[in-house]
């Protein structure tokens, strides 16, 4: 709920929404078939004046009024814009339902109502790239593994069962068009399977799923033949290069160097401690059989039984030795 309330912050203040619109308009400048209305006057908390969005809601538009290039161009640009928002900008329109998308023949689509936006951390966005790659490769086991790593498996999590669930689900998604598949519902199904199998999913995923489901429903009105995974594959090169630039950036290098500087003294001390323990032949390793409960908390009980067991063995041995004499 906190993620949803954070995303809705601008709904109560048009100044925040205007800032969202300005940023989004800059992000859409590279797209031929997509734009965001301009903010015309300095906004107040309750008043926002923006340029008009030509046309009608994409729900009411007649696909026959558009050329094939226009329809597919709008659909692809919308998906590409959202993919870039999820994976590179980590800033996306959280409510792109048909009423917030206006289209007109010969004009770029206008994405309005920036009162609800989502934000994502870099780790989650990278994991999502890998998740979509596994879907594109029809790799159910890979998606299950990536999803579990994005979330948090509980103590009673059934990872094998989750792999089985996802392995049955993924083949239905790969290469399907919007006319054949509701990807938003599919994402919800993954969340449901994860919860049922004891895996806590990242709360950001729910907001992303809502955004993607709305976007998918909007594009379906104009270009139902579009394939989600095909558009993702077309944009994969740009996304990967963008992530690579982040990894090799000066800021990331500084962060890595700082992590090493902070970790080095502690790592050296821990290494010395392990080597000293090995030299003294006093190293203790704790092992746990998969599926068995953790017995470390019951150490007192085990420790109290051990002397009694040893005493019983010794008594039996002495009694047997006495009978022999």
Q: Please, which residues bridge with residue 101 across strands?
A: 111
Query: Are residues 133 and 147 in contact, defined by beta-carbon separation less than 8 angstroms?
Result: no
pLDDT of res. 67: 95
Q: Confidence band (pLDDT; 50, 70, 90) for 266?
A: confident
Return d(Cα 228, Cα 241) in angstroms, integer. 20
- The pLDDT of residue 303 is above 60: no
Query: Are residues 108 and 3 in contact, defined by beta-carbon separation less than 8 angstroms?
Result: no
- The pLDDT of residue 318 is above 70: no
DSSP sequence for 104-170? -TTS-EEE--TT-EEE--HHHHHHHHHHHHHHHTT-HHHHHHHHHHHSEE-TT--HHHHHHHHHHHH
Average pLDDT over residues 45-51: 93
pLDDT of res. 299: 47
Choose among 111, 76, 82: nearest CA to 239: 82
Average pLDDT over residues 298-302: 47
Higher pLDDT, 212 or 48: 48
Tallying the residues shown for the chain, one arrives at 325
Return d(Cα 194, Cα 200) in angstroms, integer. 7
Consecutive H or E run containing 246: helix 228-247
Burial class (CB in 10 A: 0-12, 13-18, 19+), 238: middle
| DSSP letter (8 states) at residue 36 | -
pLDDT of res. 300: 47
Tens-digit pLDDT profile for residues 205-253: 888 888 888 998 899 999 988 887 788 788 888 888 888 888 887 777 7
Locate tokens 């199904």: which residue?
Answer: 189
pLDDT of res. 287: 64
Q: Confidence band (pLDDT; 50, 70, 90) for 254?
A: confident
pLDDT of res. 136: 75
- The pLDDT of residue 9 is above 60: yes
Locate tokens 């500084």: which residue?
Answer: 254
Query: Are residues 17 and 127 in contact, defined by beta-carbon separation less than 8 angstroms?
Result: no
| DSSP letter (8 states) at residue 66 | S
Return d(Cα 227, Cα 175) in angstroms, integer. 6
How much of the chain, in percent, has pLDDT values that exceed 70? 79
Beta strand pairing call for 56-57 and 101-103 = antiparallel
- The pLDDT of residue 30 is above 90: yes
Query: Are residues 38 and 25 in contact, defined by beta-carbon separation less than 8 angstroms?
Result: yes
Return d(Cα 73, Cα 270) in angstroms, integer. 57
Rounded to whole angstroms, what are the CA distances from 43 to 13, 16, 52, 114, 125? 9, 9, 16, 14, 32
**Domain boundaries in the chain?**
2-247
Backbone angles phi, psi at 179, to 5 degrees: -75, -25
Q: Confidence band (pLDDT; 50, 70, 90) for 311?
A: low
Q: Which residues contact 223 (CB under 8 A, 6 or more apart)?
A: 63, 71, 72, 74, 75, 178
pLDDT of res. 175: 60
How much of the chain, in percent, has pLDDT values that exceed 90? 38
Average pLDDT over residues 41-50: 93
- The pLDDT of residue 319 is above 60: no
Range with the largest mean pLDDT of 76-85, 121-130, 258-267: 76-85
pLDDT of res. 302: 47
pLDDT of res. 8: 65
Q: Which two tokens stand for residue 179?
A: 């006319």
Average pLDDT over residues 272-286: 71
Return d(Cα 32, Cα 81) in angstroms, integer. 11
Mean pLDDT over the full length of the chain: 82
Q: Confidence band (pLDDT; 50, 70, 90) for 306?
A: low
- The pLDDT of residue 308 is above 60: no
């Amino acid at each position: 709920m906190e993620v949803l309330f954070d995303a809705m912050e601008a709904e109560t203040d048009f100044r925040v929404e205007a800032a969202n619109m300005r940023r989004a308009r800059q992000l859409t400048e590279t797209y031929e078939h997509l734009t965001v209305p301009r903010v015309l006057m300095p906004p107040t908390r309750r008043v926002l004046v923006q340029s008009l969005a030509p046309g009608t809601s994409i729900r009411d538009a007649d696909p026959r009024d558009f050329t094939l290039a226009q329809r597919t161009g709008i659909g692809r640009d919308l998906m590409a814009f959202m993919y870039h928002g999820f994976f590179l900008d980590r800033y996306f329109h959280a409510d792109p339902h048909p009423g917030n998308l206006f289209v007109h023949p010969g004009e770029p689509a206008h994405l309005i109502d920036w009162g609800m936006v989502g934000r994502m951390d870099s780790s989650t966005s990278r994991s999502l790239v890998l998740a979509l790659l596994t879907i594109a490769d029809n790799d159910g086991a890979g998606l299950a593994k990536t999803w579990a790593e994005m979330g948090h498996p509980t103590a009673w999590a059934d990872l094998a069962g989750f792999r089985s669930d996802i392995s049955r689900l993924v083949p239905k998604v790969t290469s399907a068009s919007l006319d054949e598949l509701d990807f938003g519902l599919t994402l919800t199904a993954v969340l449901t399977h994860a919860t049922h199998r004891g895996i806590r999913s990242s709360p950001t995923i729910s907001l992303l799923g809502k955004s993607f489901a709305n976007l998918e429903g909007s594009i379906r009105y104009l270009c139902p033949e579009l394939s989600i995974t095909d558009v993702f594959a077309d944009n994969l090169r740009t996304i990967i290069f963008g992530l690579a630039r982040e990894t090799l950036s000066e800021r990331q290098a500084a962060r890595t160097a700082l992590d090493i500087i902070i970790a080095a003294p502690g790592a050296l001390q821990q290494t010395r401690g392990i080597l000293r323990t090995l030299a003294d032949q006093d190293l203790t390793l704790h092992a746990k059989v998969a599926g068995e409960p953790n017995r470390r908390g019951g150490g007192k009980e085990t420790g109290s039984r051990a002397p009694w067991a040893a005493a019983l063995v010794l008594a039996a041995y002495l009694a047997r030795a006495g009978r022999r004499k």
